[in-house]
Amino acid sequence: MILVTGGCGFIGSHTVRALLNLGEDCVVVQRRASELPPVLDGTRVMVEQADTTDRDALLAVGRRHDITGIVHLAGSYPWPPVPDAPVEATRQALGGLLNVAEAAQEWGVRRLGIASTIGVYLGAAGDGPLREDAPLSMTAPGSIPTFKKVGEMLSGFLADTTGLDIVNYRISGTWGPLGHPDPFFAAPALIHSAARGAAPDLSHLVHPAFAEDGLDLTYVKDTGRAIALLQLADKLNYRTYNVGSGRATTNAQISQAIKNSVPDAQVDLPTGGATPHLVLDISRLKEDTGYHPEYDTERAAADYITWLRAGNDN
């Protein structure tokens, strides 16, 4: 049985669904009691209410279930990004990661997977797709990439000293059902506006959106499946894997894909913008798991719009 922290969240719920599709049983832990998300309706998922920062509550889960693997997708970083008590927020974030590692050791799990982010590459030198062995900058712009870099270093230390099989997932920009408008890319907001028949509100973006802006974007169903394959692979040759599409998707391509489903969608963006950047090399992922993305931009946009128009509100 695989335990998934954050298993009722955006990427987590799709990862659980993929694990179930591959024949695994799953238990998810969530901080607050809530209904399962729609993508898990009718499934055999077991739910435990526990916070990863509560060591005793987390370890108790392993006494009620035979946990053979852990996928740690719950946020191991301070939230909000600028907390009122930064020292305590840091203690909580790192404590949650260490509690999960302790649980993995106590339960004797086969593999512990930990979510990282494409953001760790910000500031990295070089052209072309980003490889996992690329040198990373010692600084990071913001709490999430900062704590993901720290988490990767800690997980390497813990793997060396405990013998645990710990794998880092450097996850690309991800969009799809259960997702919300993202501050770093426009695709979710464009999709939501098209489904509602309204003009998009992009005021939440960190930077203005232009048609030629691009990023490695992955549909969440592919992201979840990739993580599931990494968790279940018989043998992995590395500790760190890029999880993405392996290509840049521009806002112009997103807009055209939306218009193929909603011809009158108001999703055109002004021309200009940076050259597509932050594209992940996913060779390791493909070679060690057989993964290939199933959703191109057009199929992803059509699927997401259908989801939203079926009455789902996120």
The per-residue pLDDT for range 31-88, each reduced to its tens digit, is 876 778 889 988 889 999 999 999 999 999 999 999 999 999 998 887 777 788 889 9
121 and 7, same structural domain? yes
> What local confidence, expressed as pLDDT, does residue 231 receive?
98
Give domain status of residue 286, yes or no. no
The reply to whether 183 and 201 lie within a common domain is yes
* 9 plus 91 within the same structural domain: yes
Structural domain of residue 201, as residue ranges? 179-217+245-278+295-309
User: Dihedral of CA 178/181/183/187: which sign?
Assistant: positive
Helix/strand/coil percent split, the chain, to 5: 40, 15, 45
Mean pLDDT of 91-101: 94
Half-sphere exposure of 307 (CA within 13 A, CB side): 21
Find the CATH number of the domain harbouring 211: 3.90.25
Q: How many domains does the chain have?
A: 2
What is the reported pTM? 0.95
Q: Output phi, psi for 102, to 5 deg.
A: -65, -40
What pLDDT was estimated at residue 273?
Answer: 81
At 275 the pLDDT is 65
pLDDT tens column, 193-215:
999 999 999 999 988 999 999 99
Instruction: Give residue 125's pLDDT.
Output: 60
Residue 287 lies in a domain: no
Specify whether 169 is located in the same domain as 186: no
CATH number at residue 160: 3.40.50.720
Q: Is residue 283 part of a domain?
A: no
Q: Name the 3-class secondary structure at 225.
A: helix
The torsion angle over the Cα atoms of residues 87, 173, 278 and 232, rounded to 10 degrees, is 90
pLDDT recorded at residue 124: 72
Distance separating alpha carbons of residues 248 and 172, to the nearest angstrom: 11
